[in-house]
A and B are shown apart, each in its own frame.
Chain A
Amino acid sequence: MLPEHIRSELRAIVGEKHCLDRQEALVAYSYDATPMQQSLPDVVVMPQSTEEVQQIMRVAAKHQIPIVTRGAGSNLCAGTIPVGGGIVLVLNRMNQIVEIDEQNLTITVQPGVRTADIHQAVEAHGLFYPPDPGSMVISTIGGNIALNSGGLRGLKYGTTKDYVLGLEAVLPNGEIIRTGGKLMKDVAGYDLTKLLVGSEGTLAIITQAILKLIPKPQTQRVMLAMYADMSQAARSVSDIIANRIIPGTLEFLDQGTIRVVEDFKQIGLPTDVAAILLIGQDGEAETVDRDIDKISAICKKNDAVQIKVATTPEEADEVMTARRSALAALSRMRPTTILEDATVPRAQIAPMVAAIQEITERYGLHICTFGHAGDGNLHPTCMTDARNHEEIERVEDAFAEIFQAAIDLGGTITGEHGVGIVKAPYLEWKVGAAGIEVMKGIKQAFDPHNLLNPGKMFAKETRNRVVVNRA
């Protein structure tokens, strides 16, 4: 519990109504979308301007209080859990779209704007903001930037990092910095914009962002291809790209996921196939038609047992149902759903899926895999029950092996979810001891007193356990 005088300093900044320290509020801001993680803050503060954020940061610096910045709390790496208590800084009142600049093709936003609202706002101008994380109907752009979020269009369009042109942020000492701007070229010094993207709230508090926009693609088409063998699906992915076609969407479901989806939705998916690819293309109508034809031919050549190309919006919707329902179908099976995101170079998808299957069987668990085949970002998803401690320990061990397998195949421990708490023990596996030291040096330069999101990214002691603390 913070002393009353500190709470009253905070109340003076944001007003009584936006400084919450009653039990019910503390519980409500003690979690995010990560399973089995919870920790109570001391106070929740909801500022409405950069100046208020600055003043709050100064109070925190003066009294050495940790600050965890939070948008919608939809992340899956426990990135917004206030492990050390302190202040939870909720930015969802800073939700204004400041400007859409059609001359420079940029949008300037406050961090609390929902990603889906950005899409809607720019599409009304015939423009397009491609990053589309799975949680975009709730996630805020500040969170997307802090975690460098991905999504279904990563292969063709890149991820959040490719669209952030400039940032305004409050440093832990209370100073405001502005990086980048409405420009495509800028090599003046270290690229602090890129450094803040994906920094998970550990370096500075992002209070405004300038994002790049592109023209909205004219049309969009989708298709499904089903395979009796995983390697045929993987070969199709490689062949499509080797043929110089970059699809807008290239998604993958494994057999386990297909069975669960079909069981849940009854959309007529064959449950004996080993893999389904959902492939979409967008752009000029003629190019899209040509690409879809070529892709169909490639899938056929790779022995797809069935190919479904949508010709009407209704059919497209039907085709998308399989991918859209995956998480819902899986999450209804058991009380606890652990959605992970190991990533490999896309040529290694087949061996990665095989490794996940082997590990799953060896540990006697229920893990299904779906994800973004185009960019090699897979979501092995474990259906379990947090109350079964013995099983949860097996889950931890299995995931440790899955992450190791991803690294062995030239991949990484997280492609779009972030490190947060749950991947911190593995970060060194990926970046090495020297990499960790450089990262810690950067943290030290920005935040010498470790006030911003402490306990994240860097594991305190070497612990190769993730999913839950073995207390």
Chain B
Amino acid sequence: MLKEALIDKLDYEELSNCMRCGFCQPACPTFRETGYEAASPRGRIALMKAVADGVMQPDQDFVDQMNLCLGCRACEPVCPAGVPYGQLIEQTREAIEEVQEHPTWVKAVRKLAFTHLFPRQDRLYRLGSMLRFYQRSGMQKAVRKLGVLRILPKQLGEMEAIMPDASGKGITQYLGATVIPAVGERKLRVGMFHGCIMDVLFNETNLNTVRLLTEAGCEVVIAQGQVCCGALHAHSGEREEARNLARKNVEAFSKAEVEVIVSNAGGCGALLKEYDHLLENDPQWHEKAKWFSSRVKDISELLVEMVEPDTWAALPESKRITYQSSCHLRNGMKVTKEPVNLLQSIPNATYVPLREGDRCCGSAGIYNLVQPEMAGNLLDEKMGHVAATQADILVTSNPGCLLQMKAGIKRAGLEGQMEAVHIVDLLAGVRRKNGTSSDLRA
């Protein structure tokens, strides 16, 4: 069953392109952690090919090995043959999902999350309201006091502890507008991708994104009808649902007639940029998807292009800043220098490179919940390097990484010495020397 599904889904041409040179291995977190060939990209590709060639039957070990992959795609930039490993692992997971029999409760949770929650922004806002009530009403305090968290799995408890303040309103409801004019002369019409969870848990970051963009001369359009990007779906083997979401987003942004589509979350941005691949077998949508993908940019790319580096205002006091790169921003969107350039252009900030800042932090979507042991090991290693920077501020550019870094700071006992911040929030706090500021909340 699984064998047939894999043969059907896997791109055999790309499997054959793997030269087995092994250059991917030093970049792979799970290989470094375990030392097992099968836990490396070369090994996983060999397993996929062995199934396709009939050398092995895909058993539970095969499935486990595929699930152990973080999907960080650190192997892609170092691959001489340019094998798109990220696509191969998604195809494999799609095949696994197609045939896998989950226990009833897992099925229910997956259905709830992937079909009824992430794709439905209205429900996420309602959930946000409930969470906000939980956080504000004193219930959270009570729960923490009673030690209820101790009965949760350790990882869930850790996540609860660093949960940001939720919001029941999205960016559009907050601003009461879908088109926000540029401050000063309009240079570009930009469509803002607000994300699903991002718009509930990181509303402030979305608001700051609009601020930075409008102050940089962008007219910002919050395209109506946009939905979750589908990254969590694609990574969990729900590629068909991801395609449905992609079509809705492509539709929404093409209607909005924007020149650029901007994302402030590396995880979303990478999939948005690959909608053309996701929809390549859909003749009706492929061309439109290409239009969409070619316009996607990360906020840091746009800011580097549009803002003179010497116009950022100084931090009130001097700080050491380090940067944990988001895997999908780096390996999916190929954005590496821009965030660092931005940090280096802030006066009063000393940028300190993070050793192995290009390595996955272990967050990887919901990986830290489903593979807590591996995720925990990776996080501990990461925090060792973070502590060595002696930075005051640890910057990331993806919500999942940000939460993981917050959890890591707690776990490593660095609270009070260091805070984790999304790059957008840091820059919005700094703003610009002579730019007219825009108070959007008024």
A, B co-complexed:
yes
Chain A interface residues toward B at CB < 8 A: 20, 22-25, 27-35, 38, 46, 72-74, 90, 92-93, 114, 116, 135, 137-138, 327-328, 331-332, 335-337, 385-387
Centre residue among A20, A28, A328 by max chain B CB count within 10 A: A28
Shortest C-beta distance, A413 to chain B (Å), equals 22
Chain B residues near A93 (CB-CB < 8 A) = 35
The answer to whether B20 touches A27, judged by C-beta atoms less than 8 angstroms apart, is no
Beyond A29-B37, A116-B26, A328-B80, list 19 extra A-B contacts (CB 8 Å): A24-B38, A24-B56, A27-B38, A27-B47, A31-B46, A33-B19, A34-B20, A46-B35, A73-B20, A92-B35, A135-B22, A138-B21, A138-B23, A138-B25, A138-B26, A337-B19, A337-B81, A385-B16, A386-B16
Q: In this assembly, does B367 line the interface, its C-beta being within 8 Å of a C-beta of chain A?
A: no
Chain A residues near B21 (CB-CB < 8 A) = 33, 74, 135, 138
Which are the 9 A-B pairs with shortest beta-carbon distances? A28-B38, A328-B80, A335-B16, A28-B37, A24-B61, A28-B43, A331-B81, A27-B50, A138-B22
Chain B residues near A92 (CB-CB < 8 A) = 35
Chain A residues near B26 (CB-CB < 8 A) = 114, 116, 137-138
A23-B57, A28-B43, A31-B46 known; A331 vs B80 contact (CB < 8 Å):
yes
Q: Which residue of B lies closest to A336 (CB)?
A: B16
Chain A residues near B61 (CB-CB < 8 A) = 22-25
Chain A residues near B36 (CB-CB < 8 A) = 20, 25, 28
Centre residue among A32, A335, A386 by max chain B CB count within 10 A: A335
Q: Bound state CA distance, A332 and B81, in angstroms?
A: 5
A-B contact pairs, 10 of them (CB 8 A): A27-B55, A29-B37, A33-B19, A38-B55, A114-B26, A135-B21, A138-B26, A331-B80, A337-B19, A386-B16
Chain B interface residues toward A at CB < 8 A: 13, 16-17, 19-23, 25-26, 35-38, 43, 46-47, 50, 55-57, 59, 61-62, 65, 80-82
A-B contact count (CB 8 A): 86
Partner of A387, one of B16, B22, B25, B59: B16
Shortest C-beta distance, B85 to chain A (Å), equals 15
Chain A residues near B43 (CB-CB < 8 A) = 28
Q: Which residue of B lies closest to A27 (CB)?
A: B50
A92-B35, A332-B81, A387-B16 known; A23 vs B59 contact (CB < 8 Å):
yes
Chain A residues near B55 (CB-CB < 8 A) = 27, 38
The answer to whether B82 touches A72, judged by C-beta atoms less than 8 angstroms apart, is no
Q: Bound state CA distance, A386 and B17, in angstroms?
A: 10
Q: Bound state CA distance, A22 and B56, in angstroms?
A: 11
Shortest C-beta distance, B248 to chain A (Å), equals 34
Q: Which residue of A lies closest to B81 (CB)?
A: A331
Chain B residues near A90 (CB-CB < 8 A) = 37
Q: Which residue of B lies closest to A76 (CB)?
A: B21
Q: Bound state CA distance, A198 and B341, in angstroms?
A: 48
The answer to whether B46 touches A27, judged by C-beta atoms less than 8 angstroms apart, is yes
The answer to whether A72 touches B22, judged by C-beta atoms less than 8 angstroms apart, is yes
Chain B residues near A116 (CB-CB < 8 A) = 26
Shortest C-beta distance, A420 to chain B (Å), equals 14
Q: Which residue of B lies closest to A327 (CB)?
A: B80
Chain A residues near B65 (CB-CB < 8 A) = 24
Chain B residues near A35 (CB-CB < 8 A) = 19-20
Q: Bound state CA distance, A92 and B23, in angstroms?
A: 15
Shortest C-beta distance, A111 to chain B (Å), equals 14
Centre residue among A20, A27, A32, A386 by max chain B CB count within 10 A: A27
Q: Which residue of B lies closest to A387 (CB)?
A: B16
Q: Bound state CA distance, A135 and B46, in angstroms?
A: 19
Chain A residues near B23 (CB-CB < 8 A) = 135, 137-138
Q: Bound state CA distance, A31 and B19, in angstroms?
A: 11
Q: Bound state CA distance, A29 and B22, in angstroms?
A: 12
Q: Which residue of A lies closest to B80 (CB)?
A: A328
Shortest C-beta distance, A16 to chain B (Å), equals 14
The answer to whether A33 touches B16, judged by C-beta atoms less than 8 angstroms apart, is no
Chain A residues near B38 (CB-CB < 8 A) = 24-25, 27-28
Shortest C-beta distance, A72 to chain B (Å), equals 6
The answer to whether B37 touches A73, judged by C-beta atoms less than 8 angstroms apart, is yes
Shortest C-beta distance, B241 to chain A (Å), equals 28
Q: Which residue of B lies closest to A26 (CB)?
A: B56
Q: Which residue of B lies closest to A324 (CB)?
A: B80
Chain B residues near A332 (CB-CB < 8 A) = 17, 81-82
Q: Which residue of A lies closest to B16 (CB)?
A: A335
Chain A residues near B22 (CB-CB < 8 A) = 33, 72-74, 135, 138
Chain A residues near B47 (CB-CB < 8 A) = 24, 27-28
Shortest C-beta distance, A43 to chain B (Å), equals 14
The answer to whether B20 touches A32, judged by C-beta atoms less than 8 angstroms apart, is yes
The answer to whether B19 touches A331, judged by C-beta atoms less than 8 angstroms apart, is yes
Q: Which residue of B lies closest to A139 (CB)?
A: B22
Q: Bound state CA distance, A33 and B18, in angstroms?
A: 10
Centre residue among B16, B26, B37, B57 by max chain A CB count within 10 A: B37
Chain A residues near B82 (CB-CB < 8 A) = 328, 332
Chain A residues near B19 (CB-CB < 8 A) = 33, 35, 331, 337
Q: Which residue of B lies closest to A332 (CB)?
A: B82
Chain A residues near B17 (CB-CB < 8 A) = 331-332, 335
Q: Bound state CA distance, A90 and B40, in angstroms?
A: 15
Shortest C-beta distance, A172 to chain B (Å), equals 25
Q: Bound state CA distance, A331 and B80, in angstroms?
A: 7
Chain B residues near A33 (CB-CB < 8 A) = 19-22
Chain B residues near A74 (CB-CB < 8 A) = 21-22
Q: Bound state CA distance, A181 and B55, in angstroms?
A: 46
Q: Bound state CA distance, A73 and B25, in angstroms?
A: 11
Q: Bound state CA distance, A288 and B175, in angstroms?
A: 64
Shortest C-beta distance, B256 to chain A (Å), equals 34
Chain A residues near B46 (CB-CB < 8 A) = 27-28, 30-31
Chain A residues near B35 (CB-CB < 8 A) = 46, 92-93
Chain B residues near A335 (CB-CB < 8 A) = 13, 16-17
Q: Bound state CA distance, A337 and B16, in angstroms?
A: 10
Shortest C-beta distance, A386 to chain B (Å), equals 7
Q: Bound state CA distance, A34 and B21, in angstroms?
A: 8
Shortest C-beta distance, A78 to chain B (Å), equals 11
Q: Bound state CA distance, A203 and B167, in angstroms?
A: 69
A73-B22, A138-B22 known; A24 vs B62 contact (CB < 8 Å):
yes
Shortest C-beta distance, B373 to chain A (Å), equals 14
Chain B residues near A32 (CB-CB < 8 A) = 20
Chain B residues near A31 (CB-CB < 8 A) = 20, 46
Q: Which residue of B lies closest to A44 (CB)?
A: B37
